[in-house]
Amino acid sequence: MKYAVAAENISKVYRLYSGPRAMLREFLFNVRGHQLFTALQLLSFQISAGEAFGIIGNNGAGKSTLLKLLAGTCIPTTGSFTIAGRVGALLELGVGFHPEHTGRDNIYFNGAILGLTRKEIDDRIESIITFSELENFIDEPVKTYSSGMYLRLGFSVATGFDFSILIIDEALAVGDQKFQKKCTDRIIDFKENGGTILFCSHNLHQVKLLCDRALWLHEGKNMFLGPARDAVESYQSFLRKNSEQTAPAADHKAGQGKQICWIEKLSVTDLKGNQVTSIRSGDNLMVEVEAFYGPEFAGEPSLGVILKRSDELVICSTASHEDNAALEKLDENHFRGRLVFENIPLMDGVYSFTAVAIDTYMLQAYDIFDAECTFTVRGASPNPGIVILPHRWIE
C-alpha cells in the first residue's frame, strides 16, 4: 500500500433521540423519533508511512470522531478508508480496564483486544510494567489505583506493543513531570523509528513541533490540509477573527450613565498610528487608550494595560501611575494614554490587550475594555515559551 492511512469521502452521521421512549417508539411503530447530526462531512486525505499528522479544531469539530473511525471503534456512515499496519490508540487512557482484576490481568486483556497472541504479550509485559513504574502494585486490583496510576498503566499498555501507527488524542502528558518526560520521549522515539502518528491536540505548539502536516476541522468539514505550521496559523487566524468583539461602541456605553469614568477607545497600532492585527516577533507596537473621566472623579486619572495570550494567560501588566507617566489631556474630561512596546519579544500566537480605568491605589477598576484589540504574532522560533528573552551563550 502506498499510504499508511488513506481516507476517501468519509462521513459520520449520528441519530440523536430525545430519550429512550422516542427510540422505542421508532423501533416499534416505525415513527421517526430522531434528528440527524453530521459529525464528519466527506473527508478525504492520505497519510504516508512515517508521517506525523495533526488534527486540530474547536471542541465539537469532529476530531475525536475521526480518530475513533480510524481506530476502528466505530464505522463511517459513508465513504471508506484503508490502514496499512497495526494500530495503537490513545483515545481515552484506561478505557476497557476491569476494576476487579489486577493490573497484570488487564494488560493481557487489552493485548488480546488489540489482536496480540499470548506469546507477544508475554514478551512485552515486563517492559510495560517497568515503564509504568507500578511494579509494587501490578498484582493489585486496578480499582485500588489512584487516577494517576490508572493513567500510567493505560499509557504504558497503549504504547507498549509493536505498532506501526499510533493514534493520540490529547494524551501526551500523563502523571508527574518525570513521567511526562518519559511519555514524550517514547512518542518521539516512535516517530524517529519510522512510526506513523495521528495526533489530535488543542496544544497548537505541540502540533507545530511534532507534526509534518495537519488537518483543520470545523463542524466536520475540511477547512485546511497542509503543512502543520500553515494549518495552525490558519486556525489561529480563524480564532482571532471570531474572538474579536464586533459590538458597536454604544453597547459598551450602555451602562456608563452610572459610571464616573469609562474607556472610549482601545487600539493596537504601529508607531505611525496605523492599526495592526498581525505583527512579526521583534516589531514595535503601540497601545492607544482614550478614556472619559467625569467631574465626579476625584484624583489623578490612571490607566492600566494588560497583555494576555489567547488562553487568558497574563503576559504582563502596567499602569500609567506606576510608570510615573501623565496621561495626555484632550479636554476637560477626556484623556489619552499611549504605551509603546519596542522590539516586542513574543513567541508565535494570538494575543490581546485589555485596558482598565483604575485608581492610583489599584484597588478599584472603574471600567474594563478589551474590544478590537486582538493581534497575531508570527515569525518567532518554534521553541516552546511565551517570550524570547535577550541571551547569549558563553563559550
Highest mean pLDDT among 111-125, 173-187, 354-368: 111-125
Is residue 353 within 8 Å of 315, Cβ to Cβ?
A: no
**pLDDT for 341 beyond 90:** yes
Instruction: Cell numbers for 66, please give them.
Output: 475521526
Nearest-angstrom CA–CA distance, 305 and 369: 10
CA 233 to chain centre: 13
What does the pLDDT average to over 71-100?
Answer: 83
pLDDT band at 335 (very low <50, low <70, confident <90, very high): very high
How sure is the predictor about 60, in pLDDT bands with cuts at 50, 70 and 90?
Answer: confident
Bigger pLDDT: 172 or 71? Answer: 71
Residue 250 has a pLDDT of 36
C-alpha atoms less than 13 angstroms from C-alpha of 390 in its C-beta half-sphere: 2
The pLDDT of 35-54, averaged and rounded, is 93
Which of these three, 190, 215, 241, is where a domain ends? 241
Q: What is the pLDDT of residues 187-212, one digit of tens each?
A: 888 888 899 999 998 877 778 878 99
Least confident span in 156-170, 304-318, 326-340, 361-375 = 361-375
Instruction: Please check whether residues 237 and 154 belong to one and the same domain.
Output: yes
Mention every residue, 6+ apart, whose C-beta is less than 8 A from residue 252: 262, 263, 369, 371
Residue 19 has pLDDT above 70, yes or no: yes
pLDDT at 51: 94
**Cβ proximity of 330 and 292 under 8 Å:** no
Domain boundary among 241, 270, 303: 241
In a shared domain, residues 170 and 263: no
**Residue 128, burial from CB neighbour count under 10 angstroms (0-12, 13-18, 19+):** buried
Q: What percent of the chain has pLDDT over 70?
A: 89
Q: Does residue 74 share a domain with residue 45?
A: yes
Strand partners, 329: 335
Q: Are residues 119 and 202 in the same domain?
A: yes
| DSSP conformation class of 347 | P
Task: With a cut of 90, say whether residue 151 has pLDDT above it.
Answer: no
**DSSP output for 286-308:** EEEEEEEE-TT--S--EEEEEEE
The x, y and z cell numbers of residue 346, run together, are 513574543
The Cα–Cα gap between 201 and 309 comes to: 18
**Average confidence (pLDDT) over 217-233:** 92
Mean pLDDT of 357-370: 73
Per-residue pLDDT band at 229 (split at 50, 70, 90): confident
Largest CA distance in the chain: 85
Among 180, 214, 241, the domain-final residue is 241
Residue 205 and residue 152 in one domain? yes
Residue 322: pLDDT band with limits 50, 70, 90 = confident
Strands 349-358 and 374-378: antiparallel
Pick 243 or 244 by higher pLDDT: 243
pLDDT for 45 equals: 95
Assess whether 234 and 289 both reside in one domain: no
Spatial neighbors of 352 by CB under 8 A, at least 6 apart, are: 243, 307, 308, 310, 370, 373, 374, 375
Weakest-pLDDT range from 79-88, 164-173, 174-183, 296-305: 174-183
Name which of 169-173, 238-242, 251-255 the model is least confident about: 251-255
Shortest CA distance to 162 belongs to which of 208, 116, 122?
116
Across the chain, mean pLDDT equals 84
Q: What is the pTM of this model?
A: 0.64
What CATH number should be reported for the domain holding residue 262? 2.70.50.60
- pLDDT at residue 75, as a whole number: 92
| CB atoms near residue 133 (< 10 Å) | 16
Whether residue 235 sits in one domain with residue 279: no
Listed as own residue / partner, the contacts of 236-239 with beta carbons closer than 8 Å and 24 or more positions apart are: 236/204, 236/310, 236/349, 236/350, 236/376, 237/376, 239/310, 239/350
Closest CA to 315 of 270, 273, 285: 285
Least confident of 74-78, 239-243, 312-316: 239-243
Q: Which three cell numbers stand for residue 92?
A: 481515552
Q: What is the pLDDT of residue 386?
A: 85
Which is higher by pLDDT, 22 or 198? 198
| Domain identity same for 39 and 129 | yes
- Taking only the tens place, the pLDDT of each residue in 266-321 is 999 999 989 888 899 889 999 999 998 888 776 788 899 999 988 788 899 999 98
235 within some domain: yes
Is the Cβ–Cβ distance between 266 and 372 less than 8 Å? yes
Least confidently predicted of 232-236, 281-285, 382-386: 382-386
Contact 321, 360 (CB under 8 A): yes
Measured distance CA(104)–CA(140) in Å, rounded: 8
Q: Where are the beta strands (DSSP E) in 135-191?
A: 165-169
Residue 180, H or E segment: helix 177-192
Kindly state whether residue 226 falls inside one of the protein's structural domains: yes
State pLDDT tens for residues 5-16. 999 999 999 988
Q: Is residue 127 part of a domain?
A: yes
Q: Write out pLDDT tens, residues 114-141.
A: 778 899 899 999 999 999 999 999 999 9
Give residue 272's domain range. 258-378
Domain count, the chain: 2
Percentage of residues of the chain with pLDDT beyond 90? 38
